[in-house]
């Protein structure tokens, strides 16, 4: 397992080993023991799949508030995305900053976004299939989010045209309108 750091200390990228031959490859996409040895011992309760037909589909920036905050282990089974995590923990030295990582099916890399971060991604290829494990079940009453194009966040989304976006995401608040974040910085993981 290769583990790399990002621009934010609490956001890590994991790349499980692949064993290839003339037929293709084999990998353990998720193995609790291997991930724990690499520093990620969170327990996951739900797996999600999201298919996007068009490149330029943007999903996010989302989070679930405590007591149902979710950590997310995100990867790509087909296609590619730019995955983004924004620190929204009160008192964090990186509050309002983001990490952006390209995840591709070819690389087999995965990003862990812990609770306290808004998360989103933009597809960079058509017919992209994203899989992510979460540490808590879906609770719609705890949903929150940030506007994907908030100028304060300065995210360089890979877009040549307006994104494919649902109306709900187009109406999310800016960081300054979030008010007092429900997440509190308690040191790095």
Residue 130 is part of which domain span? 2-184
Active site residue 30: no
This prediction has a pTM of 0.95
Q: What's 152's domain CATH number? A: 2.60.120.10
Q: Are strands 24-27 and 18-21 parallel, antiparallel or unpaired?
A: antiparallel
* CB neighbour list of residue 154: distance below 8 Å, 6 or more residues apart: none
Domain total of the chain: 1
| pLDDT given at position 142 | 97
| pLDDT given at position 187 | 87
CA distance linking residue 93 with residue 100, whole number of Å = 18
- Does residue 189 form part of some domain? no
Cα-based torsion angle of the residue sequence 164, 85, 82, 110 in order, rounded to the nearest 10 degrees: -130
Q: Are strands 12-15 and 110-113 parallel, antiparallel or unpaired?
A: antiparallel
- Residue tagged active-site, from 14, 62, 119, 121: 62
- Does residue 75 form part of some domain? yes
| pLDDT given at position 133 | 98
| pLDDT given at position 128 | 98
- Does residue 180 form part of some domain? yes
| pLDDT given at position 83 | 98
Active site residue 95: no
| pLDDT given at position 116 | 98
CA distance linking residue 87 with residue 165, whole number of Å = 22
- Does residue 150 form part of some domain? yes
Q: What share of the chain is helix, strand, coil (3-state, %, to 5)?
A: 10, 40, 50
- Residue tagged active-site, from 68, 119, 132, 185: 132
- The stretches in the chain having pLDDT less than 50 are none
């Amino acid at each position: 397992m290769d583990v790399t750091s990002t621009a934010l200390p609490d956001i890590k990228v994991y790349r499980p080993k692949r064993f290839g031959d003339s037929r293709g490859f084999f990998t353990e996409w998720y193995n609790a023991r291997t991930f724990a040895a690499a520093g990620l011992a969170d327990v996951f309760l739900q797996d999600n799949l999201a298919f996007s037909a068009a490149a330029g589909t943007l999903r996010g920036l989302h989070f679930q508030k405590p007591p149902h905050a979710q950590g997310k282990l995100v990867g790509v089974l087909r296609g590619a995305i730019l995955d983004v995590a924004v620190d929204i923990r009160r008192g964090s030295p990186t509050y309002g900053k983001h990490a952006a990582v390209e995840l591709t099916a070819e690389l087999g890399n995965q990003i862990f976004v812990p609770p306290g971060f808004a998360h989103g991604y933009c597809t960079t290829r058509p017919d992209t299939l994203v899989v992510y494990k979460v540490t808590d079940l879906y609770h719609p009453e705890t949903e929150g989010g940030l506007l994907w194009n908030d100028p304060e966040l300065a995210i360089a989304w890979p877009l040549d045209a307006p994104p494919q976006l649902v109306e709900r995401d187009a109406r999310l608040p800016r960081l300054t309108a979030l008010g007092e974040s429900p997440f509190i910085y308690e040191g790095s993981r």
